[in-house]
Amino acid sequence: MKTLPLLFALLFALLVAGVQAADYPLDAPAPDGRRPGGTLTQTQPAPPLAAEENKDIKRERIYPDQPPTIPHAISNYPIDKNSNKCLSCHSRANAPRSQAPMISITHYMDRDGQALAAVSPRRYFCNQCHVPQADVKPLVENRFRTIDQVLQDEVQRAGQKP
């Protein structure tokens, strides 16, 4: 039993020696290119958030079962356990009056597929899946193509083969 504390002390000493041998500078530049300036030990202020689009234009969905994006600003919409501003326009009862799209009927089902009178608690916090958009420059290159674009390219390639 007396050898166990000695073993832990030896392992700790080896760990400290290894860290010192690595000679890793704590002032190294930030590891990603998304935070210009600063080092790992410095805390930089977050960049300002871009303004949300407020176009009220329904956007194309680019993959199956994609949640629709939010085409208007929601920065002052309270969504908490006591209220959900989204439901004042998009609920089953209010959508006809507001002319807003009604939330999907799937939001009124429990996990077993049983219909509910009110929005399911699992679907109550809208911005878990639905997000507003902002016109910003991407942080990294994006070569995403919709399934329609992929299929169109396949058809063109098939037509070019001799």
Per-residue pLDDT tens for 33-46?
A: 555 666 667 777 87
Token readout for 34 is 């998304």
Question: Are residues 119 and 107 in contact, defined by beta-carbon separation less than 8 angstroms?
Answer: yes
The C-alpha atoms of residue 58 and residue 101 are separated, in whole angstroms, by 10
Of 31-40, 81-90, 127-136, which gets the smallest average pLDDT? 31-40
pLDDT band, residue 9 (cuts 50/70/90)? confident
The C-alpha atoms of residue 68 and residue 65 are separated, in whole angstroms, by 9
| Model confidence, pTM | 0.63
pLDDT in tens, 64-78: 889 999 999 898 899
Between residues 24 and 143, the one the model is more confident about: 143
**79 three-state secondary structure:** strand
pLDDT band, residue 91 (cuts 50/70/90)? very high
